[in-house]
């Protein structure tokens, strides 16, 4: 029996860290326009090259494994070199490959430019065909993210399985699902126990409810997500922290202070920390603390999984920061 099954694409991420000293001479960062500009045809010095496991569901699967859970990962990737490397990284993290399917062709891949502690992602998404495995286990929890808009039938099938077996679902309807419209993935929202979105995803899902930076609008968005059926509705907002509604109280938690290196995987680190705390029987307040500490650790490393913490490491960090945590809003 698995504690949790994670479902979704696995990718390989290649991180190019630009040399601050040399790249500053050839790069122009226009923060107000959210642009990073290179001279066309120029050669930009790279200070570091790192390869990391990627994909939202794979990142969360690793996070939950680090937190002490037995995790199966239901995923599809190619039989190319990238897929072989991704498979080796899954195995090294202790994830079961019982439900890994390898297909002829290419594996989803991203090149990520890391410059001035921010990342720019160049992604190549391969299209897969997910079907409900005949032997899919009735685990205690399931986590789903980043499959895409073409899997409406699969979403209905796995939602029914989750509902019939009274499984707790953690769901991140990422932009790939959101692009297909609410009708594509609404069944997952209704079957979910926890829903995680960042603020931009929440706006894409719910439409314009007003200035998304205003607390009344944040509360309205959380309430609308909660109305689909999940017990916990969570919105992350980068350096502004995260918000949660558990059906009775609204909370906001600041980020846990660290010296950031780059931001890839921060949201997945939060999701695995929050969900892991709930799986360990913790409250929403404690789950937000776990999520923030885990997310903060992720941004101190290159890649989405290198900084993920164990339960012991999270608890030790919180012992020295006992006053850190969310406030009701």
Listed residue (267, 260, 222, 252) closest to 325, CA to CA: 252
Sheet architecture: strand order including 250-253: 100-103, 71-78, 4-7, 141-145, 168-172, 194-198, 232-236, 242-245, 250-253, 327-328
Beta strands in the chain (DSSP E): 4-7, 11-18, 27-30, 35-38, 46-54, 71-78, 100-103, 109-115, 118-124, 141-145, 168-172, 194-198, 232-236, 242-245, 250-253, 327-328
pTM of the complete model: 0.92
Residues 6 or more apart whose Cβ sits within 8 Å of residue 209: 203, 217, 220, 221, 224
The alpha carbon torsion through 115, 8, 230, 134 (nearest 10 deg) reads -170
The per-residue DSSP string of 187-199 comes to: HHHHH-SEEEEEH
Quick one: pLDDT band at residue 301, thresholds 50, 70, 90?
A: very high
Quick one: pLDDT band at residue 174, thresholds 50, 70, 90?
A: confident
Joined tokens for residue 80:
């190319």
User: What is the per-residue pLDDT across 202-250, written as a single tens digit (0 to 9) for each?
Assistant: 999 998 888 877 899 999 999 999 999 999 999 999 999 999 999 999 9
User: What is the per-residue pLDDT across 251-280, written as a single tens digit (0 to 9) for each?
Assistant: 999 999 999 988 889 999 999 999 999 999
φ/ψ of residue 24, rounded to 5: -60, -25
pLDDT of residue 25: 47
* Helix ranges, 81-130 (H): 81-92
Around Cβ 25, how many Cβ atoms within 10 Å?
9
The answer to whether the CB of 325 falls within 8 A of the CB of 289 is: yes
CA atoms within 13 A on the CB side of 19: 10
The answer to whether the CB of 242 falls within 8 A of the CB of 291 is: yes
User: What is the per-residue pLDDT across 124-147, written as a single tens digit (0 to 9) for each?
Assistant: 888 888 999 989 999 999 999 988
CA–CA dist 298, 315 (Å, integer): 16
Handedness of CA 291, 292, 293, 296 (dihedral sign): positive
Around Cβ 67, how many Cβ atoms within 10 Å?
26
Q: Which domains does the chain have, with CATH numbers?
A: 4-11+54-108+126-328 (3.40.1190.20)
């Amino acid at each position: 029996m698995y504690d949790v099954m994670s479902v979704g694409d696995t990718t390989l991420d290649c991180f190019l860290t630009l040399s601050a000293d040399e790249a500053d001479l050839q790069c122009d960062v226009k923060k107000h326009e959210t642009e990073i500009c290179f001279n066309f045809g120029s050669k930009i010095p790279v200070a570091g090259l790192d390869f990391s496991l990627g994909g939202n569901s794979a990142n969360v699967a690793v996070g939950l494994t680090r937190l002490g859970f037995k995790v199966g990962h239901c995923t599809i990737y190619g039989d190319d070199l990238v897929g072989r490397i991704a498979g080796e990284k899954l195995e090294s993290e202790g994830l079961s490959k019982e439900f890994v399917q390898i297909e002829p062709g290419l594996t989803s891949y991203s090149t990520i430019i890391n410059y001035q502690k921010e990342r720019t992602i160049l992604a190549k998404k391969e299209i897969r065909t997910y079907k409900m495995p005949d032997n899919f286990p009735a685990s205690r929890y399931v986590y789903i993210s980043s499959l895409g808009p073409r899997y409406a039938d699969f979403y209905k099938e796995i939602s029914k399985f989750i509902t019939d077996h009274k499984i707790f679902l953690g769901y991140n309807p990422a932009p790939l699902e959101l692009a297909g419209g609410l009708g594509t993935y609404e069944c997952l929202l209704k079957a979910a126990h926890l829903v995680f979105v960042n603020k931009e995803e929440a706006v894409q899902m719910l439409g314009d409810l007003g200035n998304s930076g205003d607390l009344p609008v944040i509360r309205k968005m959380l309430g609308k997500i909660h109305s689909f059926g999940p017990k916990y509705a969570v919105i992350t907002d980068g350096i502004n922290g995260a918000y949660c509604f558990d059906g009775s109280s609204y909370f906001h938690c600041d980020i846990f202070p660290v010296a950031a290196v780059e931001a890839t995987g921060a949201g997945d680190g939060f999701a695995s920390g929050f969900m892991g705390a709930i799986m360990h029987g913790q409250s929403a307040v404690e789950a937000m603390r776990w999520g923030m500490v885990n997310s903060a650790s992720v941004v101190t490393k290159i890649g989405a999984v290198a900084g993920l913490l164990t339960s012991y490491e999270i608890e030790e960090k919180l012992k020295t920061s006992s006053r850190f945590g969310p406030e009701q809003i």
